[in-house]
Amino acid sequence: MWQLQNAVRHYPWGSHTVIPELLGSPSPADRPHAELWMGAHPDEPSVRSDGVPLDKAIAGEPELLLGSEVLERFGVRLPFLMKVLAAEKPVSLQAHPTAEQAEAGFAAEEAAGVPRDDPTRTFRDPFHKPEMLVALTEVEALCGFRPVEESLHCLAKLQVPELKPTIAALARGGLRSVIPQLLALPADQRDVLVSEVARAAAGFVAAHDPEFINTYRWAAALAETYPGDPGVVISLMCNHLRLAPGEAVFLPAGNLHAYLCGAGVEVMASSDNVLRGGLTGKHVDLAALIEVLDFSDGRVPVLRPVLGPGGLRYPVPVEEFDLTHCQLGDQVGTLTTRGPQLVLCTEGTAVLSTAGDELTLPKGTSAFVPAGTPVSARGPAVLYRVTTNLS
């Protein structure tokens, strides 16, 4: 097993405190720290303590590090990616493709010769990206479309004349009609619509009207950061989720979502395919987004962990990843799994032991454990452990 050196991504929406404090760096930092990546994705692979990038190490010894079961199912690649995500400002509205959509989209852009680092590139790899976020702090998020009848009421209550075409499209053709209409609006119409929606929403917040107050508060705030962005109006039609620490949300392919604020441990299939739909200055591929989006409406469940081997497990319906929250005391516990493991320490100091090795993980550090390696751990510490979910 090896301790890992992990990369931080510095997006404008990131926190100046959460990841620096986790890593023991000066806080507040001089620039935002948005994501801490742990894994073997070729765009940002972790580096083992022997200096070898994890993706290169796996390519050199795939069966030893991944195990035959993972190798047969997923090929020569670590199928999961772990991150710490810390949002001080809202992350863009986005969705992720299915495996089939990702494979087809990636092949098409490769054939067209679109460079993988081109800002207009949509599919950066041929893999899907189901994901789950477990809250470390309170997290607020937009997640999937709320029931259509509720969205109609939320929009109509604002009494904004410019919203009449939106309300009519939603009532007549549902979400599949109204979302493309909003995203395709000319810039001048967008500007007026968003500013009027924000003004009306702020009025209800100022009047302390409790109905939709959190939805309206965020719409007004988002309009300040992203004036003229149709994502502000789309946010009124999304479920607003508030996660307490330890609660989680699972996001399947096609789910339109945005993390508004807060920090969590994010686990996903190892992919960087993001199709943006608003609240962003980056490229929006409208045609690809509409093809990928799941337009079904309804509530999104909050996930709570169940007791499993090694700690509290968050069950998800995918094969690529399985996450466990491990609360370690002074007694030795077992962390052995059939598949490879990434282990992150978020509190205290953990000591991992194998037959011939011992590794100390202070807060903010992580390790890679090869498939099937008998490993035990002691604390006091809090660990997040991700492995595969093959039955």
Q: How far is CA 115 from the centre of its chain?
A: 24
Antiparallel, parallel or unpaired: β 93-95 and 238-243? unpaired
Please confirm, yes or no, whether 77 is among the known catalytic residues.
Answer: no
Q: Write b or e for each residue in 255-291: b if 16 or more Cβ atoms lie within 10 A of its Cβ, otherwise e.
A: bbbbbbbbbbbbbbbbbbbbbbbbbbeeebbeebbbe
> Which phi and psi angles does 229 have, rounded to 5°?
-90, 125
| Position 299, amino acid | R
| Position 90, amino acid | P
Q: How much is the pLDDT for 229?
A: 95
What's this model's pTM, rounded to 2 decimal places?
0.94
Print the SS3 string covering the chain.
Answer: CEEEECEEECCCCEECCHHHHHHCCCCCCCCCECEEEECCCCCCCCEECCCCEHHHHHHHCHHHHHCHHHHHHHCCCCCEEEEEEEECCCCCEEECCCHHHHHHHHHHHHHCCCCCCCCCCCCCCCCCCCEEEEECCCEEEEEEECCHHHHHHHHHHCCCHHHHHHHHHHHHHCHHHHHHHHHCCCHHHHHHHHHHHHHHHHHHHHCCCCCCHHHHHHHHHHHHHCCCCCHHHHHCCEEEEEECCCCEEEECCCCCEEEEEEEEEEEEECCCCCEEEECCCCCCCHHHHHHHCCCCECCCCCECCEEECCEEEECCCCCCCEEEEEEECCCCEECCCCCCEEEEEEEEEEEEEECCEEEEEECCCEEEECCCCCCEEECCEEEEEEECCCC
Q: Which two tokens stand for residue 344?
A: 């992150």
The single residue of 48, 124, 146, 276 carrying the catalytic annotation is 276
Residue-level pLDDT, tens digit, the chain, 391 residues: 999 999 999 999 999 999 999 999 999 999 999 999 999 999 899 999 999 999 999 999 999 999 999 999 999 999 999 999 999 999 999 999 999 999 999 999 999 999 988 888 999 999 999 999 999 999 999 999 999 999 999 999 999 999 999 999 999 999 999 999 999 999 999 999 999 999 999 999 999 999 999 999 999 999 999 999 999 999 999 999 999 999 999 999 999 999 999 999 999 999 989 999 999 888 888 888 999 999 999 999 999 999 988 899 999 999 999 999 999 998 888 898 999 999 999 999 999 999 888 999 999 999 999 999 999 999 999 999 999 999 7
Q: Which two tokens stand for residue 204?
A: 């209800």
Nearest-angstrom CA–CA distance, 54 and 65:
10
Q: How much is the pLDDT for 308?
A: 85
Q: How much is the pLDDT for 282?
A: 84
Q: How much is the pLDDT for 267?
A: 98
Nearest-angstrom CA–CA distance, 97 and 255:
9
Q: How much is the pLDDT for 119?
A: 87
Q: How much is the pLDDT for 116?
A: 87
